[in-house]
Amino acid sequence: MTHISEPTHRLVPTEAGRIHLVEQGSGPLVLLVHGFPESWYSWRHQLPALAAAGYRAVAIDVRGYGRSSKPAATDAYRLTELVADNVSVVHALGEESAVIVGHDWGSAIASGSGLLSPEVFRAVGMLSVPYTPRGTTRPTEVFAHMGGGDDEFYISYFQEPGRAEAEIEPDVRGWLAAFYRALSAGTMPGPGDLVPYFVSPGGTLRDRWPDGPLPGWLGEAELDFYAGEFERTGLTGALNRYRNMDRDWADLAAHEGAPLTQPSLFIGGALDAATSWLSDAVKAFPHTLPGLVSSQLLDDCGHWIQQERPEETNRLLLDWLAELPV
């Protein structure tokens, strides 16, 4: 039996200061990028599986999260900066290239890394959020028109610095539990009910989120880990990703409509609202992802794919990785 090393925590230098990562295994490098509001820990089921299959699996804390640097400036969280962090991680690990896999915001960061640094990122895996090329309309204009009546879409709600933080800070653990519950299979509202993603005038996001037990994938210990991270760091660094969507749009002007040409993978949850909202992006894959190897929708799965369905996610990842050119 092949011996698998224990996960190792490291800090590596970047232009912003440092990125914290957790590494396991040896072989071709697979860089794992988490989403909101998570951490390297969201890949805890993938690290040993990838290592056992002969890969060097590395899960990072994205800038603004965990033990990674947290620059004060809001515009320090634009996509180009996060791509630069990923390139720095690859080089700091002594590698020239990597496969990159992201979930949620990490999916957008992974696809952006592949688009802007194709010489470094030779293949791109995306979970929950499909690749969507830069369009002609400023993102905040799109989100401002989502919903109905006076309700405000959550992405618009997140735009103003300090506003969402004021909701979250008094009870970080309770807010995270409600957020994870609202987007998980088995604990989310009924199909087609988008009410939890909207804010009433003068209200908060949590006002409309379901109460009840934790989703099956999230135990008290796992919730304690996430809560501990954000109670220590706050949520501003994480929320600043949303506050740079228009900057990203401007930064990517030269890449309007550009396809992502590397070998790629998409895994979505059939019950995930993100999959429904972005269904047109999935339909466009023949044009936007000409190197697509596999696109999968997991039945009865919500947003937190690699944690809700770790074994199935691991199998799909490993099948895809095995097909990539060495």
Give me the active site residues, please: 104, 303
d(CA 303, CA 314): 16
Phi, psi of 123 (to 5 degrees): -160, 150
How far apart, in whole angstroms, are the C-alpha atoms of residue 107 and residue 281? 13
**How many degrees, rounded to 5, is the angle at CA 140 between CA 81 and CA 211?**
95
Residue tagged 């050119």 (tokens): 325
Cα angle: 193, vertex 199, 203; to 5 degrees = 135
**Residue 44 host element (H or E):** none
- Non-local (6+) Cβ contacts of 10 within 8 A are 20, 21, 22, 23
Q: What's the number of CA atoms in the CB half-sphere (13 Å) around residue 167?
A: 19
Please check whether residue 303 is in contact with residue 274, taking contact to mean a CB–CB distance below 8 angstroms: yes
Q: Specify which residues 267 forms β-bridges with.
A: 127, 296
Residue 56 near residue 26 (C-beta atoms within 8 A): yes
Residues 314, 122 contacting (CB under 8 angstroms): no
**Cβ–Cβ < 8 Å for 212, 187:** yes
Q: What is the DSSP string of 147-189?
A: SSTT-EEHHHHTSSTTHHHHHHGGGHHHHHHHHHHHTSTTTSP
